[in-house]
């Protein structure tokens, strides 16, 4: 993306949406999250990467301050998956849940878990995450 980004910027194309993304609290794994972030940038999204071990409050503050269309959360461990639900609850408490669509992913995450915690979408891999994101912001698939 370091090579492609200036070329994308040169085209002057407006971002098709804004994504805030991070690996959840207690989890230091970020390969999957980085792949999703790169693919999203490549697809035309503006991406704000909060990094790893992201506390729910940090996600909430980012949603409040940056007003993204999408919030992406990643976890590699079954032990850290619950932090996704905690973050969604924190968004609800802050009155921000309706302002953003929440996407979740990572090796142990399933559609069932996504539904259980009240996320908007689950994607099993980076490529389908892009398709899902395009759908959520109402843009045509590429």
| 53 phi, psi to nearest 5 deg | 50, 50
Tell me whether strands 17-23 and 101-105 are parallel, antiparallel or unpaired.
unpaired
For residue 101, the cross-strand partners are: 70
Please count the other Cβ atoms lying within 10 Å of the Cβ belonging to residue 139.
Answer: 15
Binning the chain into helix, strand and coil, the percentages to the nearest 5 are 45, 20, 35
In this structure, are strands 45-49 and 70-74 parallel, antiparallel, or unpaired?
A: unpaired
- Note whether 28 binds another protein by CB under 8 A: yes
Minimum distance from residue 112 beta carbon to another protein (Å):
9
Nearest alpha carbon to residue 94 among 72, 48, 61: 61
- Write down the least CB distance from residue 123 to another protein, Å: 14
Interaction between residue 107 and another protein (CB under 8 A): yes
Q: Is 53 in the site for another protein (CB under 8 A)?
A: yes
The interface region with another protein, picked from 7-15, 57-65, 92-100, 108-116 by CB under 8 A, is 108-116
Residues between 63 and 82 with contacts to another protein, criterion CB under 8 A: 77-82
CB of 86 to another protein, least distance (A): 12
Q: Which of 27, 91, 130, 136 binds another protein (CB under 8 A)?
A: 27
CB nearer to another protein: pick between 92 and 107: 107
Complex with another protein: residue 53 or 120, whichever CB lies closer: 53
Length of the chain: 142
Name the site residues for another protein (rule: CB under 8 A): 25-31, 34, 53, 77-82, 107-108, 110, 113, 125
């Amino acid at each position: 993306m370091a090579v492609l980004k200036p070329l994308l910027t040169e085209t002057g194309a407006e971002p098709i949406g804004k994504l805030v993304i991070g690996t959840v609290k207690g989890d230091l794994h970020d390969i999957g999250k980085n792949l999703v972030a790169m693919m999203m940038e490549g697809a035309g999204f503006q991406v704000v990467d909060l990094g790893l071990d992201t506390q729910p409050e940090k996600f909430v503050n980012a949603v409040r301050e940056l007003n993204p269309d999408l919030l992406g959360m990643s976890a590699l461990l079954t032990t850290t998956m619950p932090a996704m639900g905690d973050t969604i609850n924190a968004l609800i408490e802050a009155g921000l849940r309706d302002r953003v669509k929440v996407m979740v992913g990572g090796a142990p995450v399933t559609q069932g878990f996504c539904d259980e915690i009240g996320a908007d979408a689950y994607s099993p891999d980076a490529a389908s995450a892009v398709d899902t994101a395009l759908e959520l912001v109402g843009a045509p698939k590429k």
